[in-house]
Structure 1
Amino acid sequence: MNFKKLLTGAFIGLAFTGVQAQKSQKQDREAIKDMCGCFEITFKYTETFAPEIDYEKHFDYNASALEWAELIKDEKDELSIQHLLLVNDSTIIKHWRQDWLYENTKRYDFNHDNQWSFVEMPKKEVKGQWTQNVYQVDDSPRYSGSATWFHADGRHFWDNVSSSPLPRREYSKRSDYNVMMRGNHVEITDEGWLHEQDNEKIIRKEAEEDVLLAQEKGYNIYKRVPDAKCAAAKEWWAANKEFWSKVRTKWSEVYGRDKDLSLEKKVEGQALFMKLFPMNTSADQKEIDEVIEAYVIKG
């Protein structure tokens, strides 16, 4: 047996695999960055099935918005996109944030009732995958999932199932379920991008099996429009980004404890965003740290 030839072939195979991985990662990064810019969004949701025949279907949800998505971190293995809502073209509301981490092994899974479980995944399970971490408006955790981006036949998409708190459109209106299992399909389109969802509304209790209340289909359709339509949001972020960088710094310290996390829903009768949003943008790190830490029960 020609061991030299065998080893040379193995080396070439590994090198080819490495080139493929680099090419795929580059495509992944390009797809993720395609979610940045100015978008007109249409939200559409409808409940499709319930196992109990006496379940009363809730009304469909339809809404629209204008949103600016700014790339705030651009590193080889990490991308971060901050979303900002524009109301009446002039009022800016800090919206959700999504971070994408390549071959990431640590994340937080939502359990229920403002509790997240720390999960450490084996390296071999996340090879070639990207974790999408989604955060609330105050940069507290929302949901997280790891999966592979696919690029084939002119399509670019990522699929994952993650547990999350109730969506903002329902959390103040409903108490008949406490977990949403999100079937997330993120796909880049010719006009922008699509967040298609196949969701399950779940009743979860400690030491009991999950109970399905209803299933739901959802479409968040992002249609790209000229960046000029979002100029006010770009200006707002430029003036406020340092404050929110300090907020992220504190949350990074909390997440870095690598422990299960429980958060207070309210402190002194206020949710966290109600304390952070009115703060002076010149607030120092210590002041911000104290506000956030007051909501951390465990972690």
Structure 2
Amino acid sequence: MRAILIAAALLTAAAPTVQALDAAAAQTAQASAPASAFERDRQSILAQAGQYRVHFDMRENVSFRADYDPLEEKLSGGSEIVRIVYDKGDRISLQHILVMEHEGQVMVIKHWRHDWVYQPQTVLTYAGPNQWTLTPVPADQRAGAWSQTVWQTDDSPRYGGVGHWTYDNGLSAWTSNATWRPLARRDAVRNPVYDRYLGTNRHILTPDGWVHIQDNMKMSGKAGGEPVAIVQEDVINTYDRSTSYSPQAGDDYWTKTQGFWSAVRDAWDAAIATHDGIQLQEIGETGSVTGTPLMDLAQQIADGEATEAEAVAKARVLITEATTPR
């Protein structure tokens, strides 16, 4: 329930060791030229960790149907920390955690996660409603490339793509190939005429942090056959470094729950490996059918109402039942 409340607020409006890792990553990214292109890319990815004020700017621009009028621009924002889950050299994982104040109380929600893999053999891609598949990456496309796989609040899949970091014109930027994506909550809860996006993703470092730019073609495949374009949307999410709020509540939550979430990631990975992809029911409010129960289990650990072992056992059952083909 807390997750739904904070998601609605966004639509309308740890530990010192973890902080030290993020600070070190940011300093490394600003250091002199790295020894290799691979290391330069790594530094660019790690530079996205830190403490931020985030501004969300979403606007539908061009309609491709006579009977569809683009939505009004939607602006919102929040406070978000990005922590390094792991850095294994050619595999890096970054976790976003919202830290927001509401009516005098600090509210924390585990937000999205993005995993980066150097020269990936496969990438998990969205294949249409309730379906994700492991897609091979041809050798000529993976040379020097990084995949980015984005996961929802409960670590269930969202989308994946492959692209290269470039350093032209003074910009450190990663650009994905065009990727299919499920509807974001802001659209899914409205039951719109479109049911998926075809999007291109860019991550660009800025002097104060970084920006996440999405070029989304909102598509409809409801009639069967090839999806048709409805409207184009730009999403610009700007992450500006900030010390104007305390990240402590978010880091405390992550310290208490990161063992649970590690086991949850392993359970999702096992399901994906077993089925060469995954079938999972999408839910507008929470992203997936597992969204609320998994988030609730983590909160029970954080509140001292359940042990990690108890919560992990329940989570594994939930994921197995949700991903078993019927």
User: Structure 2-normalised TM-score?
Assistant: 0.80
What is the alpha-carbon root mean square deviation over aligned residues? 2.2
Gaps of 5+ in 1: 1-19
Is 1:156 the counterpart of 2:169? The answer is: no
Whichever of the two has the greater Rg, that structure is 1
Task: Give the 3 Å change call, closer, same or farther, for CA 258–296 of structure 1 in structure 2.
Answer: closer
1:102-181 alignment runs, 5 A limit: 102-160=118-176, 161-181=178-198
1:248-263 alignment runs, 5 A limit: 248-257=265-274, 259-263=276-280
Is 1:189 the counterpart of 2:206? The answer is: yes
User: What is the Cα deviation at residue 206 of structure 1?
Assistant: 8.1
Q: 1:271 aligns with which of 289, 300, 317?
A: 289
Asked if 1 retains the 8 angstrom alpha-carbon contact of 2:34 and 2:40, the reply is no
- Decide which moves more: 228-237 or 55-64: 228-237
Asked if 1 retains the 8 angstrom alpha-carbon contact of 2:280 and 2:289, the reply is no
- Decide which moves more: 148-157 or 205-214: 205-214
Task: Give the 3 Å change call, closer, same or farther, for CA 140–154 of structure 1 in structure 2.
Answer: same
Is 1:222 the counterpart of 2:200? The answer is: no
Q: Can you list the C-alpha shifts for 1:122-168, whole angstroms capped at 9, x where unaligned?
A: 33320100000000111010000011111233210011121111112
Q: Secondary structure at the match of 1:246?
A: helix
User: As a proportion of its length, which structure holds more strand?
Assistant: 1
Asked if 2 retains the 8 angstrom alpha-carbon contact of 1:21 and 1:128, the reply is no
Aligned length: 277
Structure 1: distance between partners of 2:230 and 2:319: 33
Structure 1: distance between partners of 2:251 and 2:259: 14
1:28-67 alignment runs, 5 A limit: 28-67=41-80
Q: Can you list the C-alpha shifts for 1:82-102, whole angstroms capped at 9, x where unaligned?
A: 110112072110111000000
Is 1:72 the counterpart of 2:85? The answer is: yes
User: What is the Cα deviation at residue 117 of structure 1?
Assistant: 2.3
Task: Give the 3 Å change call, closer, same or farther, for CA 56–124 of structure 1 in structure 2.
Answer: closer
Task: Name the % identity.
Answer: 27
Find the counterpart in structure 1 of residue 5 from structure 2.
none
Q: Secondary structure at the match of 1:148?
A: strand
Asked if 2 retains the 8 angstrom alpha-carbon contact of 1:38 and 1:229, the reply is no
Task: Give the 3 Å change call, closer, same or farther, for CA 147–175 of structure 1 in structure 2.
Answer: same
Amino acid at match of 1:39: Y
Q: Secondary structure at the match of 2:248?
A: helix
User: As a proportion of its length, which structure holds more helix?
Assistant: 2
User: What is the Cα deviation at residue 21 of structure 1?
Assistant: 11
Structure 1: distance between partners of 2:221 and 2:308: 39
Task: Give the 3 Å change call, closer, same or farther, for CA 227–71 of structure 1 in structure 2.
Answer: farther
Amino acid at match of 2:235: G
Gaps of 5+ in 2: 1-32, 302-306
Asked if 1 retains the 8 angstrom alpha-carbon contact of 2:216 and 2:232, the reply is yes
